[in-house]
């Protein structure tokens, strides 16, 4: 039985290292380790507790020895590349610079944090928390509750288009049913500071709408989603006169 446990050790440790190098997050790795421990307890009940403790120590040493991204920016770059494909260091540097400018201009850092949460796919979705069967909280009825789906969610795309139209935003926010997520995450060349402010507000409003539905354990319909996005924008406008001025310029300038 002990030999069987040792073979499990080697297999688990190898797969854990491979998972981390492939871009798995630390929480995903730790969840895998917990699954492995549960498996060992189930399959080798005759192994003494002292040997199981040794196995746990061995796992922890392996995890702490793994090479982690040197900086937060490097880790974010890995997350973005796994999601959107090639992302250069110059794009990440530009994103950081534009977020700093947006935060200083609006004095509303929460909207910049929302951009980073979206970029890192750090929204509290069912997919992220292993509830893979949950339907989209935006009420589209044709997708799962995941950030990957949000980009092409018909309900969210329509609500964002409606908000952009109401505020007379002069640029396209979606094409062929897909949000221009690269522009919203500030990975494309900058159009203007005002456009960056609008993109940050859009992503912040989307996360807020999702959080409301998640906390209440319900799903939006078209009207409630559009109303929630607009309400969030109006709240941000009250908190930041500069934000109101930046987004309001689209209405005064026209298309």
Contacts of 94 (CB under 8 A, 6+ apart): 186, 187, 190
- Higher-pLDDT residue of 176 and 13 is 176
pTM: 0.73
Mean pLDDT of 43-57: 59
Structure tokens, 96: 């950081």
Mean pLDDT of 159-175: 94
Contacts of 29 (CB under 8 A, 6+ apart): 16, 19, 20, 63, 66
Assign residue 160 a region (left: φ > 0; alpha: ψ between -120 and 50; beta: otherwise).
alpha
What pLDDT band is residue 7 in, cutting at 50, 70 and 90? very low
The Cα 95–Cα 101 span in angstroms is 10
pLDDT of residue 77: 92
What pLDDT band is residue 132 in, cutting at 50, 70 and 90? confident
Contacts of 19 (CB under 8 A, 6+ apart): 28, 29, 32
The Cα 168–Cα 124 span in angstroms is 30
């Amino acid at each position: 039985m002990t030999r069987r446990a040792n073979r499990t050790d080697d297999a688990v440790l190898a797969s854990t290292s491979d998972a981390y190098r492939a871009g798995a997050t630390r929480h995903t790795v730790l969840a895998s380790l917990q699954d492995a421990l549960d498996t060992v307890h189930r399959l080798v009940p005759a192994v003494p507790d002292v040997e199981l403790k040794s196995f746990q120590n061995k796992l922890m040493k392996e995890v702490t020895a793994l090479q982690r991204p040197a900086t937060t920016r490097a880790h974010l770059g890995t997350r973005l590349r796994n999601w959107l494909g090639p992302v250069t260091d110059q794009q990440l540097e530009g994103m950081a610079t534009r977020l700093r400018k947006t935060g200083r201009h609006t004095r509303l850092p929460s909207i910049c944090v929302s951009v980073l949460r979206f970029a890192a796919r750090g929204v509290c979705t069912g997919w992220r928390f292993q509830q893979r069967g949950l339907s989209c909280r935006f009420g589209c009825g044709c997708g799962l509750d995941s950030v990957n789906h949000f980009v092409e969610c018909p309900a969210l795309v329509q609500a964002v288009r409606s908000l952009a139209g109401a505020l007379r935003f002069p640029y396209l926010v979606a094409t062929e049913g897909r949000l221009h997520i690269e522009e919203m995450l500030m990975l494309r060349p900058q159009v203007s500071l005002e456009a960056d402010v609008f993109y940050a507000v859009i992503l912040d409003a989307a996360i807020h709408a999702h959080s409301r539905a998640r906390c209440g354990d319900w799903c939006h319909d078209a009207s409630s989603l559009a109303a929630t996005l607009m309400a969030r924008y109006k709240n941000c406008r009250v908190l930041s006169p500069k934000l109101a001025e930046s987004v309001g310029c689209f209405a005064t300038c026209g298309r």
